[in-house]
Structure 1
Amino acid sequence: MSTPSKQSHKLLAIPGPVELTDEVLQALAQPPVSHVSPQFVAIFRDCIEMTRKVVGTKDGQPFIISGSGTFGWDQVAANLVEPGEDVLVLHTGYFGDGFRDCLRTYGANVDELKAKSGFPVELHRIESALMVKRFKAITITHVDTSTGVLSDVKAIADIVRRISPDTLIIVDGVCSVASEEIQMDTWGVDVVLTASQKGLGAPPGLSILIASQRAIQVFAKRRSPVTSYYASWKKWLPIMTAYGNNKPAYFGTPAVNLIKAYHASLTQITSASPSLNERLRLHKQVSQRIKAIAEQLGLRQLPQDPAHAANGMTALYLPDGIGASDILPRLAAKGVVMAGGLGDSKDKYIRIGHMGTSVVDATRGDIDTIASTLQVSLKEAQAAKK
């Protein structure tokens, strides 16, 4: 079966969706199968097991549900936090706002620690907040896609377990899973929520959440009813348990072709060469290359400290007088799609995604194309302003 060639579409160099391998495209293009057929049940079972491997858990419970990464917020807010309970949100950009608002929608009392622009939240501030109040949960945006700021989940989790061991540790890993190291069991993380279209290398459309057994027990002991129908683990936990045991079950029809595509990508991530650890090393290597090229072009990163800059994306301030609206169309005209900023400063910076097959398969030449096209387009935009 033929698949679209790389030349037939613009190169996606945004922080998700990302470029897909031929194997993923082929899986997506297959005729649909029954969601209760033995063939599909086996695929779903494998996805559950391989998802555990990617985030470093032996017994965490994956929930693979049709939806965007944002749906993971709803699952957390609806199932793990009861109305009136206190949650601490660590804010490093636009997506911290979203998680905060979602929690409040379900009735949580939210305290927020906002980082300085371009920085993660300081560890001593987290420590102080946990000593003042006992929180039901703390949320950490591992990589905020709006800023490219990388938070140190391990260090934060160490603090939480030392000061407030009953607090659930919730990681928004939408822009970090499979491009940043995550050791869910070793670090003591209770929830990792993510989506299919970034480091996991599949099309958009799957909300993927992994809950620790401690989180499942917290859910089982909740006193009030779950205030969502579609997000309720009362509905979804029996489904995921059945598929995990190689048995069909039904609540809502799963996106069978998306799950087949996700299976193809997970197989490459967990079973093929390069290994998962090597993939993470390659993401770091390519990230350093992109950031070095940007520095040579006179572009400054949003993250102020290289230690807190994401490995799957790069956020860059543009020179004075040049806006995202000046450079993005030039890039697109040359076949490369990059992203503008988010929030009040959205025209002052651009965001480059470098995740998945573009990083892992050097023969594609995607990173070379990103670098050369950025250089040419920036020169053109500067010349046009003179």
Structure 2
Amino acid sequence: MSQPHKLCMIPGPIEFHEDVLDAMSTPATSHVDPLFVPIFGECIELLRKVLLTKDAQPFIVAGSGTLGWDMMVNLVERDDEVLVLNTGYFGDKFAECLEVYGAKVTHLRAPIGDRPSLDELKKALSAKKYKMVTVTHVDTSTGVLSDVKGVAETVKSISPETLVVVDGVCSVGSEEIRFDEWKLDAVITASQKALGVPPGLCIVAVSQQALQVFKTRKTPVAGYYSNWNKWLPIMTAYEARKPAYFATPAVQLIYALLASLKQLTAQSMDTRFDQHRQVSQKFKKAVTDLGLKQLAVSDEVAANGMTAIWLPEGVQVSDIVPSLAAKGVQIAGGLHAECATKYFRIGHMGISVTEPQRGHIDKVIESLTTTLKEVKSKA
């Protein structure tokens, strides 16, 4: 176990395993060192196991998850129609990014705490032809879980050539994702959430259909660092255990990623999905028992890796967050522009879930219970 410290129980970055942190403690290493190249290559292969795909192409690039949005410039061209299924802050920002590259974005929004219905999606797809449909699997601002399987089935049944792009930054590693079975075209994620690695790696996996769209585009890619013409040869080389260079990878983070992916794939993904569901149910029951309500309007639309919780009447974020921090638990305030001051968010992903002997979830529940009693006693 690591040394005592304030638990980071926000919806990412999460708590990191000691072996993952140790893996970063390597001497300065060249990114084309024959000892490093196979580390990178194995990471690419293990990511396919995490996403349950045989032939999707992973990209591992130094940057935040936001870089994954920019990478969609490889798939969209100016004036392409894009439908954004919007469940909060990150749907807004993904759309904003796509508009920078000239996409014509249509939003399909839901009330705070809910998600667009599949019937609404069918209606939108019937009204216009879209190059791409994006869906935020878990919007970290609201804790809403989108029905990615249902979305993909609906899109592909009406318009098979339309690309289904999933923002999985807050879902890969904690929520069920079946890339091949669900016929997804791109999944965007980052290292610091349920993959359990410090921030700094953008990870994107794309289907062969998406790669074909990229390869047959009519105009040059309007990006440099995010351009797959630059990165595809690099990923292909590393997976073949050959050195290559475009931009320097985050060597130590990739060592850490391999350590985490080995842990993650040591069990079946189904087991990991179930662990997160069970802990989520336990945590959400505790929240309900405390008389609190979630932003998510029902269990069906609630994420398994985090919970967004409305503040009790008369209680401020400043009453909750510092009090929990003083008890050794770091949580997050609200993020959605319309109600940021009215709720708070707690993450439950990775080793906090898969290694219950650490006691992270129990400590959060205990600390939250005590804090609420203290707040009420002062009222």
Give TM-score scaled by structure 2 length. Answer: 0.98
Taking the TM superposition and a 5 Å limit, the aligned residue runs for 1:160-199 are 160-199=155-194
Paired residues, what number? 378
User: Is 1:279 aligned to residue 275 of structure 2?
Assistant: no
Which of the residues 65, 68, 71 maps onto 1:72? 68
User: Is 1:373 aligned to residue 373 of structure 2?
Assistant: no
Kept in 2: contact 1:325–1:347 (CA 8 A): no
Taking the TM superposition and a 5 Å limit, the aligned residue runs for 1:216-365 are 216-271=211-266, 274-342=267-335, 343-365=337-359
1:89-127 superposed Cα distances (whole Å, 9 cap, x missing partner): 000000000001000001000011001221111111100
Paired residue type of 1:79: N
How far off is 1:382 after superposition? Answer: 2.1
How far off is 1:202 after superposition? Answer: 0.6
- In structure 2, list runs of 5 or more residues that go unmatched: none
How far off is 1:79 after superposition? Answer: 0.4
Which of the residues 25, 49, 52 maps onto 2:48? 52
1:253-279 superposed Cα distances (whole Å, 9 cap, x missing partner): 0000001001100000012xx432212
Report the Cα distance in structure 1 between the residues aligned to 2:338 and 2:374, rounded to whole angstroms: 25
Which of the residues 29, 32, 38 maps onto 2:34? 38
Taking the TM superposition and a 5 Å limit, the aligned residue runs for 1:104-183 are 104-183=99-178
Backbone CA RMSD of aligned residues: 0.9
Paired residue type of 1:347: T
The equivalent of 1:16 in structure 2 is: 12
Report the Cα distance in structure 1 between the residues aligned to 2:179 and 2:268, rounded to whole angstroms: 18
Which of the residues 2, 7, 11 maps onto 1:5? 2
Kept in 2: contact 1:194–1:208 (CA 8 A): yes
Name the SS of the counterpart of 1:351 in structure 2. strand
Report the Cα distance in structure 2 between the residues aligned to 1:15 and 1:29, rounded to whole angstroms: 25
Q: 1:289 to 1:6 in 2, by over 3 A?
A: farther
Name the SS of the counterpart of 1:184 in structure 2. coil
Paired residue type of 2:296: P
Report the Cα distance in structure 1 between the residues aligned to 2:361 and 2:28, rounded to whole angstroms: 34
1:156-203 superposed Cα distances (whole Å, 9 cap, x missing partner): 111111111110000000000010010000100000000000110111
How far off is 1:29 after superposition? Answer: 1.8
Identity of aligned pairs, percent?
Answer: 56
Paired residue type of 1:211: V
Name the SS of the counterpart of 1:39 in structure 2. coil
1:295-338 superposed Cα distances (whole Å, 9 cap, x missing partner): 01111000001011000001100101101111100000111000
1:14-48 superposed Cα distances (whole Å, 9 cap, x missing partner): 00000011110100122231110111111001000
Name the SS of the counterpart of 1:352 in structure 2. strand
Report the Cα distance in structure 2 between the residues aligned to 1:115 and 1:16, rounded to whole angstroms: 24
Moved over 4 A (4+): none
Kept in 2: contact 1:157–1:187 (CA 8 A): yes
Kept in 2: contact 1:127–1:159 (CA 8 A): yes
The equivalent of 1:99 in structure 2 is: 94
1:65-105 superposed Cα distances (whole Å, 9 cap, x missing partner): 001111100001x1000001100000000000000100000
Report the Cα distance in structure 2 between the residues aligned to 1:111 and 1:6, rounded to whole angstroms: 48
Paired residue type of 2:315: I
